[in-house]
Amino acid sequence: MKPIDRPDRDRDGDAEDGDGDGDVNRDGGRIPRYLREATAVAIARLDPRGAVLETNRGFLRAAGQAGREPSETGWDARAAFIQPRFDELAALPIPAGEGHEPVFRGVFNLGSTGSTPESLRGCAYRSGEGLLIVAEHDPEEWDHLRVSVLALNRELAESQRQLVRDIQARRRAEAELAETNRGILALYAELEDQAIALRRASDLKSRFLSNMSHEFRTPLNAILSLSRILLEGLDGDLTEEQRVEVTYIRQAARTLSDMVNDLLDLAKIEAGKTTVRPEAFEVSELFAALRGMMRPILGSDAIHLIFEEPAGIPTLRTDQGKVAQILRNFISNALKFTERGEVRVSAAPEEGAFVVFSVADTGVGILEADQRRVFEEFEQIEGELQARTKGTGLGLSLSRQLAELLGGSVSLASRAGVGSTFRVRLPVDYAGNGRGGPESRHPNAGAIESP
């Protein structure tokens, strides 16, 4: 009998994959494994009496035996041959060449009892072993299926190529990402080094300011004490010229002492060593103390320092000394830059358990371009009055940091030639969060307002 050989090439010359079994499958059969499950082609190998030696699903379907498995053997398949009948095929003479030429070529009508026969076109080969039937259900359908499979193969091949491209692109992206990550890690390390260096520099600055301030205080206190003794005449009376000169010395020493105190306070805040000591007090008491403290430095009858009587403000519980220091800096700054008119100090309650202190003056005012600088350290606005007044540019910066330490904020409203209003907004009850936590910071903290 002619063995079933799997072709090396299909009709279009495309190579087909083999299973490497040759003519005999690994389980001993001669029908290639890839054809056993095929349905478009019917294949059966029968012995001379019509018993099944091998078959596939295509033959089982056509013979009305779809319930059987291709591996089932020995069952009688003669009844499946309606035209030509099996006996007619089995009686055909064996051609020369031992089955290499078909004994029948044409249409097979196959089926089972009571079913509609199915027509297949193919060939029958006869040998001493029996019959080999090879037929196609529908050549046109087979060709269409084959074309579809080829198209699917091409589509799969393109998908594989695209997958390879995607994998390569992903690997490139991963390599770029890894390089970027290495750069970011290096940048983080550099930033960390810079942060450590900045913290070290800040600590050194704070330590220097603190040490310098302490070193200055001793001789300054000596100068202030000696000048007071001279002015009081404890060692004898001074001439008028001597009194004027000693007064200048005392004023210069007091100015320098104030500067040293500001530097020391600033260093303590930056070092985190400033302690807040909350205590209960009334705003009216605070204003009375400030009134007595600030009147001596008015220096001119053309300026009026007015403290408005507070109304509707509850008892405050915060650090009274630091609140007084903030207001002293505001008032002192206002008096420096007001030649005539008034400096008005007021306080008003604000919703949310806050109080707002305001220091308004009728001085030279501040240009809009300069307003954001006034709360920075060592910043001074150039002008005629600035040239005549001495200062370090630390007062307003210190006030801002003290306000934040108490959980509040500062703001400014000013117009050049009209005047300025400095405000500090503080919680009525110090919450102990310092630096103005989220529950106490005003949405306009540090803002520059319109007058």
- Whichever domain contains 98, its CATH number is 3.30.450.20
Question: Other CB atoms closer than 10 Å to residue 232's CB: what's the count?
Answer: 9
Give the span between the Cα atoms of 211 and 195, in whole angstroms: 24
Q: Could you tell me how many residues make up the chain?
A: 451
What are the tens digits of pLDDT across the range 352-364?
899 999 999 998 8
Regarding whether 297 and 441 lie in a shared domain, the answer is yes
pTM of the model: 0.47
Residue 396 belongs to some domain of the structure: yes
pLDDT value of position 28: 46
Distances (CA, A) of 119 to 75, 332, 409: 22, 115, 97
**H or E element at residue 330:** helix 320-336
pLDDT of 7 = 39
Strands 448-449 and 409-415: parallel
> What single-letter DSSP state applies at residue 406?
T
The answer to the question of residue 17 being in a domain is no
| Residue/partner pairs of 55-63 with CB below 8 Å, 24 or more apart | 55/31, 56/31, 58/137, 59/110, 59/133, 61/118, 62/108, 62/110, 62/111, 62/118, 62/120, 62/135, 62/137, 63/110, 63/111, 63/112
pLDDT 10s digits, 25-42: 444 457 888 788 888 889
Same domain? 422 vs 344: yes
Phi/psi-derived region of residue 214, left when phi > 0, alpha when psi is between -120 and 50, beta in every other case: alpha
Query: How many structural domains is the chain composed of?
Result: 3
Q: Which of the four pLDDT bands, split at 50, 70 and 90, describes residue 309?
A: very high
Domain annotation covers residue 23: no
Q: What is the pLDDT of residue 11?
A: 40
pLDDT level of residue 307 (50, 70, 90 thresholds): very high
263 vs 180, residue with greater confidence: 180
Is 340 a domain residue? Answer: yes
Among 70, 102, 137, the domain boundary falls at: 137
What is the rounded distance in angstroms from the CA atom of residue 362 to the CA atom of residue 396?
18
In which domain, by residue range, is 133 found? 33-137
Do 73 and 179 lie in a common domain? no
Q: Is the domain of 373 the same as that of 416?
A: yes
Identify whether residues 292 and 394 lie together within a single domain. yes
**Domain presence at residue 413:** yes
Residue 213, in any domain of the structure: yes
Amino acid at residue number 327: L
Residue 235 lies in a domain: yes
Cα–Cα dist 366/344, whole Å: 17
Indicate if 173 and 117 belong to the same structural domain.
Answer: no
Task: Dump pLDDT digits (tens) for 57-99.
Answer: 989 998 989 889 998 999 999 999 989 999 999 899 888 765 4
Does residue 165 sit in the same domain as residue 126? Answer: no
Q: Name the amino acid, one letter, at 419.
A: G
Residue 15 confidence (pLDDT) above 60: no
Instruction: Tell me the two tokens of residue 399.
Output: 């006030």
pLDDT in tens, 186-229: 999 999 988 898 888 777 766 776 676 667 767 877 888 888 88
Statement to judge: residues 203 and 55 lie in one domain: no
d(CA 426, CA 434): 11
Are residue 224 and residue 331 in the same domain, yes or no?
Answer: no
Select from 245, 264, 288 the last residue of a domain.
245
Of 245, 267, 289, the residue that ends a domain is 245
How high is the pLDDT of residue 12?
Answer: 42
Domain annotation covers residue 149: no
State whether 298 and 359 are in the same domain: yes
What is the DSSP code (8-state) at residue 2? -
Give how far Cα 145 sits from Cα of 8, 141, 151, Å. 19, 6, 10
Average pLDDT over residues 375-392: 58
| pLDDT at residue 298 in the model | 74
Confidence band for 240, pLDDT divided at 50, 70 and 90 = confident
- Would you call 118 helix, strand, or coil by DSSP? strand
65: CB partners within 8 A, 6+ apart: 75, 77, 80, 112
291 shares a domain with 390: yes
Q: Check whether 271 has a pLDDT greater than 80.
A: no
Which residue type does 408 have?
G
CATH of the domain at 290: 3.30.565.10
One domain, residues 296 and 364: yes
* pLDDT band (50, 70, 90) for residue 445: very low
